[in-house]
Amino acid sequence: MQKIIYFDEGSATDILQIEYGGELISVDEDKGTFHFGGKAEVSAEVGAGTSFFTAIKAAFSTKVSTDISNSKDSLVSKTISNTILADFYKLSNKLKEENKISIFENYKIRPIKNSFAFLKMYTPYMKIIKEGSPLLAEMDDFDILNFDEILESAKGYYELLAYKDEKKVIFRFNIKEFKNAYSLMDLLRMQLNYYAVEVGLAKEKEFNIENEMDIDSQSTRITASEILEGGQNNSEETLKVYDVILAGVEAKIIED
């Protein structure tokens, strides 16, 4: 992969742990510290044949000073993050063959109208609109200046429609996992590969803000017949929902 746009490191770590059978470690993201649960000399041996566990073994060997892992900016922290990304990417084709993840190529992205993701894309620009503007006439009841911050604290994952020819799916993104200052808005303009895990089923209309806030309707969103029939007998298609783990630009092969 030539450039990383989005990487959900926590989810990728879970997948690597499951694949390698590791009783990995506990992580304090605020302090940037990592621990082996009291048995470093034993746990370090699990999956030692992979670069993922080899790096952790080296970083948390009982011979290594405990001061090394005190900072998020430490070499240990950076090494582990880079290793998780490299190992997940290396393992991705195997995971795809085993139907544990899906890899989407040449899919376009667009926001679902009147969804929280739709608002999240445009709320940063609302601050530059002059107060009293007709553009904000219907939003007098909203705290426009703090809209973006409110959305970010209220909702962690944002759903976007992904489509290719006649195929459509829903992608979910953890808003905090974008890399290099990229954002949801940038996805609309880029041609990326998406590595994702299927997590459920939904219809586009369910992500309308009013429907998301209607708790009563959420419990009866999809019936058993809709799941079996794929929503073919309904006015709106039932789509598969995927949590995106990795998104980026694949390296192009240049032929002589």
Distances (CA, A) of 64 to 47, 49, 59, 69, 214: 20, 20, 7, 10, 53
Q: What is the pTM of this model?
A: 0.70
Mean pLDDT of 82-98: 90
Give me the DSSP letters along 76-131: HHHHHHHHHHHHHHHHHHHHHHTTSSEEEES-EEEEPTTBHHHHHHHHHHHTTSPT
Q: How far is CA 78 from CA 36, 71, 72, 82, 152, in A?
A: 18, 10, 8, 6, 26
* Per-residue pLDDT, 87: 87
Q: What is the 8-class DSSP label of residue 184? A: H
**What are the Cα distances from residue 29, in Å, to 9, 33, 69, 74, 234?**
12, 7, 12, 13, 44
pLDDT of 146-202, one tens digit each?
666 666 666 789 999 999 999 999 999 998 999 989 999 999 999 999 999 999 999
The beta-strand segments (E) located in the chain are 3-7, 26-28, 33-35, 102-105, 108-111, 157-164, 167-174, 193-202, 239-249
Q: Is pLDDT at 238 greater than 60 in this prediction?
A: yes
Smallest CA-to-CA distance from 119 within 90, 84, 150 is with: 150
Query: Which H or E element spans position 65?
Result: none
- What is the residue extent of each domain of the chain? 3-97, 103-249
User: What are the pLDDT digits (tens) for 53-82?
Assistant: 666 555 555 444 444 444 445 555 666 677
| Segment holding 151, helix H or strand E | helix 147-154
29-38, 54-63, 244-253: segment of lowest average pLDDT: 29-38
* pLDDT at residue number 65: 44
What region, left, alpha or beta, does residue 37 occupy, with left being phi > 0 and alpha being psi -120 to 50 degrees? left
Contact 10, 80 (CB under 8 A): no
- Segment among 31-40, 208-217, 236-245 with least mean pLDDT: 31-40
Q: Whole-number mean pLDDT of the chain?
A: 74
Instruction: Give me the pLDDT at residue 116, please.
Output: 83
Provide the pairing of β-strand 157-164 with 108-111: antiparallel
Tell me how far apart the 2 most distant CA atoms of the chain are, in Å: 66
In percent, the amount of the chain with pLDDT more than 70 equals: 54
d(CA 21, CA 93): 19
Using the predicted structure, report yes or no on whether residue 233 has a pLDDT greater than 50: no
